[in-house]
Chains A and B, each alone.
Chain A
Amino acid sequence: MAYETFNEPVSDRNTVFQTVRRRAWITVAVPVAVCLYLVYTWFAFGVPQLLSKAQPERAAILATDSVAYKVHVTKLLRRDIMEVAIEGERRATYENEDLPDWVKVDGTDALVDLGQGYEIAIAGKVMEFTVPDYGTIRVTATQSGVKTELPPGPIPDWIKDDPKKFDARPTLDRRVQVTRTKIEVHNYFGGWENFWFPFHSELYGLSFSQLWAIALSNERIDPSQSNMSLIMHDFLGNPDWQHGEVFIALFETIMMAVLGTLTAAFFGLPLAFLAARNFTPSKILRFGTRRLFDFLRGIDMLIWSLIFIRAFGLGPLTGALAIAFTDTGSLGKLFSEALENIDNKQVEGVRATGASQIQRYRFGVIPQILPVFVSQVLYYLESNTRSATVIGALGAGGIGLMLVETMKTSRDWENTSYIIILTILVVIIMDQTSSWLRRKLIEGK
């Protein structure tokens, strides 16, 4: 800069003010535009109608149901029998001699004590429900439906009374339903009943230390197999919780992620050399490989898995291939960018010693891109575990499919929450494993 221009301003006043004004304008305009957009989508998504149609009570039911189980006391009026069963399952029926102490069965009549003064008496076709602070409800099942006699006064909103069906749920954990064919009482308890062993297994209700003793003892409960294998068999074969199937599904999900990522890395690396400017002089070859990457990535995992389902059926192979196809595109692109950014000096140095082409790659190139390669593969492994649960839900199998199925039947929410917890655990474990491996392999710690 010349001496005489020292006192002249670098940019003139007007430009400075203009820039400042424009900037101020942007800081106002951008938030306003974002707000306008959000308002537009508020109506485009139909949020007002949605809020009016939402069923928050479903969330409450779901929350209770996923941490609690219920015991059904059912009187089947046609066959005139009384049944007490966990979740109303035929497999989990209490025998008459060891009924829980809150139920008293006398022939085909019963007295159910739901606690805190809530009591139900079933006699013949008549159900009498005593509710504290309200009175006694008397419901009779008739040929065509039900006949209800309520205490005087307005009908509270926890009673749904119509000529075909009577339904009362005074608290979240007590419920009575009466129809023409049956009287059903639900009593809720906390916890996951028969989680470890099925109801009729010899091992039902044993503590861990008792199980340990049984596993070590020489006397066989079942003469045909050892106690250890009996424990495993009864646990995995639990018909309500389906531990065996859940574990297989989890295994499928992890397998999809691992296989898909490794395959993608296996094909992505050599293809990346073809797409890198400094390794492939041919423009056509480079262009072709890059478009191949774009194609593989652009056709989404969703579409790939749908195509593979048609060809190979449902299962982990479909999921693994869908992940492999998509990620060959993503990893190939990343590797080729890493290859273009390598330092050429190392390659030249190796070349100066008279190294062959392969030796130049081996000692000049690979050490430079190996950290990128390993860390990217591990990152993708991590995110593919999550993707595997999602494309599993589309039908590719694994824990995702199982989750959607239990949610669709929406019968036993505790099963759903069990699967959700396991899914999240698997995702977290894969996360931790891959970041541990990354630390080990790249930083050498």
Chain B
Amino acid sequence: MAVAALEQEILSLRKRRQLYSLIGLLLVVAVVVSGYSKSNEMNSGGFLQGLSKFFDYPGEIVAEAWQSGPAFFSLILTFVPAMLETLNIAAVATLIGGAMAVVLAMASTRNVDSWGPLIPVVRRLMDVMRAFPELIIALFLIFVLGSSPVPAMIAVAFHTAGALGKLFSEVNDNIDRKPIEGLSACGASWLQRIRFAVMPQVAPNYLSYFLLRLEINVRASAILGFVGAGGIGQELRRTIGWGQGAGDETAAIFVLLFLTIMMIDQLSSYLRGKLVGAGRAH
């Protein structure tokens, strides 16, 4: 009977799917197990030998911080200027990168009537900008401009423009075209259409992505400091480079970094919740 044949077919399909899932799962397990054993070999210290030492370094830092007593809090305060520098790097990079991203996004979405031949070009451009690791640009600029926050800022801004540009263009893809058509019917220019029809629709989402990026960029700027781009990362490299004796300073930087990142996280997720919530209500 046809129904029986169909049932047979479905059963065999299901069996095959289960088999594929099983193979996929086994493959993942194999990759993880062999990967860990391989990387354990490649590491200069082994996992098992290291495990006992795992708490040594954090313990050492905490002990030194504990010894310095109440002075530890004033030590934290001495690193606030460096932290501010890192925050400045992130903020300026996000502002400049974000502004570039808006331009790129407007130029790369069909939905907002941008010039057709430009679209694929700008899209590829954004792909390249995103693929460039910040580190490479930062190192190159440090070589040319010397150690300072500016190389990190430019590197992060460049990457931000590519990453945000893509997210922004996805927002543009989803807008309602009726306001644009309404404005074109009144004879509005392209800029006027963007200003009065597109911007009001996309602004909440843009701002929300912008804040998310700010959060990511604070981390990125802290890490770039470690290769010589100023800010808290550079301080961290200094205290770690001294080896023994600077444990309390290292601990102070860790605490400050942790607190700042957590604060930015909380603030940005609160604001994002508000923005997108408000956007939905309209």
List residues of chain A with CB under 8 Å of any chain B CB.
34, 37-38, 41, 44-47, 50, 53-56, 58-59, 62, 252, 255-256, 258-259, 262-263, 266, 294, 297-303, 306-308, 310-318, 320, 386, 389-391, 393-394, 397, 400, 403-404, 407, 410, 420, 423-424, 427-428, 431
Listed from nearest, the 5 A-B pairs whose CB atoms lie closest are: A313-B45, A315-B43, A313-B44, A312-B50, A310-B57
Q: Is the CB of A53 within 8 A of B88?
A: no
The yes or no answer to B271 lying at the interface (CB within 8 A) is no
Contacts of B135 in A (CB 8 A): 389-390, 393, 400, 403
Inter-chain CA distance A361–B54, complex, in Å, is 36
Contacts of B46 in A (CB 8 A): 312
Q: Is the CB of A303 within 8 A of B257?
A: yes
The yes or no answer to B261 lying at the interface (CB within 8 A) is yes
Contacts of B219 in A (CB 8 A): 300-302
Q: Is the CB of A410 within 8 A of B143?
A: yes
The yes or no answer to B2 lying at the interface (CB within 8 A) is no
Q: Is the CB of A252 within 8 A of B42?
A: yes
How many A-B pairs with Cβ below 8 Å? Answer: 166
A315 CB contact (under 8 Å) in B39, B131, B222: B39
Inter-chain CA distance A352–B35, complex, in Å, is 43
Inter-chain CA distance A160–B236, complex, in Å, is 40
Measured CB to CB, the closest approach of chain A to B122, in angstroms, equals: 17
Inter-chain CA distance A343–B37, complex, in Å, is 41
List residues of chain B with CB under 8 Å of any chain A CB.
28, 31-32, 35-36, 38-40, 42-47, 50-51, 53-54, 56-58, 85, 88, 91-92, 95, 127, 130-136, 139-140, 143-146, 148-150, 153, 219, 222-223, 226-227, 233, 236, 240, 254, 257-258, 261-262, 265
A259 CB contact (under 8 Å) in B32, B57, B150, B223: B32
Interface of A (DSSP majority class): helix
Q: A53 — nearest CB in chain B belongs to which residue?
A: B146
Q: B219 — nearest CB in chain A belongs to which residue?
A: A300
Measured CB to CB, the closest approach of chain A to B190, in angstroms, equals: 20
Inter-chain CA distance A133–B53, complex, in Å, is 69
Interface of B (DSSP majority class): helix
A41 CB contact (under 8 Å) in B92, B144, B258: B92
Q: Is the CB of A46 within 8 A of B148?
A: yes
- The 19 listed contacts between A and B (C-beta, < 8 Å) are A46-B148, A59-B144, A62-B143, A259-B32, A299-B258, A300-B223, A301-B219, A301-B223, A310-B56, A311-B45, A311-B53, A312-B46, A316-B43, A317-B39, A390-B223, A393-B135, A393-B227, A397-B43, A420-B136
Contacts of B36 in A (CB 8 A): 259, 317, 320
Inter-chain CA distance A403–B136, complex, in Å, is 8
Contacts of A56 in B (CB 8 A): 144
Q: B132 — nearest CB in chain A belongs to which residue?
A: A424
Q: B260 — nearest CB in chain A belongs to which residue?
A: A298
